[in-house]
Amino acid sequence: MKPRPLTDLVHELLAAVIEPGETAIDATAGNGHDTLFLAQAVGESGQVYALDIQEGALEHTRVRLETAGVQARVRLRVADHADLLSVVGYELQGKVRAVTFNLGYLPGGDRSVVTSPATTIPALRTGSTLLAPGGRMTILAYTGHDGGRRETRAVEEWCNALGSPFTVREVRPPGTPERAPRLFLVDRRESR
């Protein structure tokens, strides 16, 4: 039996914490699958920010959103995920319900353009400061590209060092191959 795609699991894990009217971020928009999911999850009164360093990726995302009729609730920005805070604004610190990272390269795109620890770790730091109590961040790290293993190790180390008010776990469904991408889940605990 073939395990289901981890991207489907990411959507399920994010759906568990997102309510209509909330704010979410796709820090690595790629071809727009996660952006579309987030736009549908936040509903008409919600807002999604989607970033990518490649204009072509955002064009794919734009078409996907327009086809689904949800483009009005998404702000697309050509930007590196390390610049996340300057894109979404300081006023959203502690107010974002969901942040997702799908690391690596753009499927169908230039495989020499990849994420790296130098930009990913600052982006994860920023993502954690943006999370609202009860919010969730997912990090899907791919090991199969140049630098992928190094980036995944850096993500794991960052996750392991993250303390209160966050809880971190790696989600690895049964039957997942050893060389499969790794999914890290960062939850900000509710305020007491």
Which CATH number goes with the domain that contains 65? 3.40.50.150
- The C-alpha atoms of residue 108 and residue 84 are separated, in whole angstroms, by 24
The single-letter code of the amino acid at 44 is: E
- Give per-residue burial for 12-46: e unless 16+ CB within 10 Å, then b: ebbeebbeeebbbbbbbbbbbbbbbbbbbbbeeeb
Our count of domains for the chain comes to 1
The answer to whether position 61 is within a domain reads yes
- pLDDT for 14-66, tens place per residue? 999 999 999 999 999 999 999 999 999 999 999 999 999 999 999 999 999 99
Q: Can you give the residue range of the structural domain that contains 128?
A: 6-188
Number of Cβ atoms within 10 Å of the Cβ of 111:
12
d(CA 10, CA 120): 18
Percentage of the chain lying above the pLDDT 70 cut:
96
1 inside domain: no
Parallel, antiparallel, or unpaired for β 47-52 and 74-78? parallel
The 3-state DSSP class for residue 1 equals: coil
Alpha carbon distances (Å) from 77 to 48, 119, 152, 190: 11, 16, 25, 30
Asked whether the beta carbons of 134 and 140 are under 8 A apart, the reply is no
The predicted pLDDT at position 1 comes to: 54
Q: What is the pTM of this model?
A: 0.93
Is 90 among the domain residues?
yes
> Both tokens of residue 157?
């180390």
Indicate whether 36 belongs to any domain: yes
> What's the average model confidence in pLDDT over 113-122?
85
Stronger pLDDT, 18 or 116, i.e. the higher one: 18
Q: Does residue 25 sit within a domain?
A: yes
- Give dist(CA 53, CA 46) in Å, integer: 24
- Quick one: CA dihedral 10, 117, 28, 85, positive or negative? positive
Percent of the chain with pLDDT over 90: 74
Q: Is residue 170 part of a domain?
A: yes
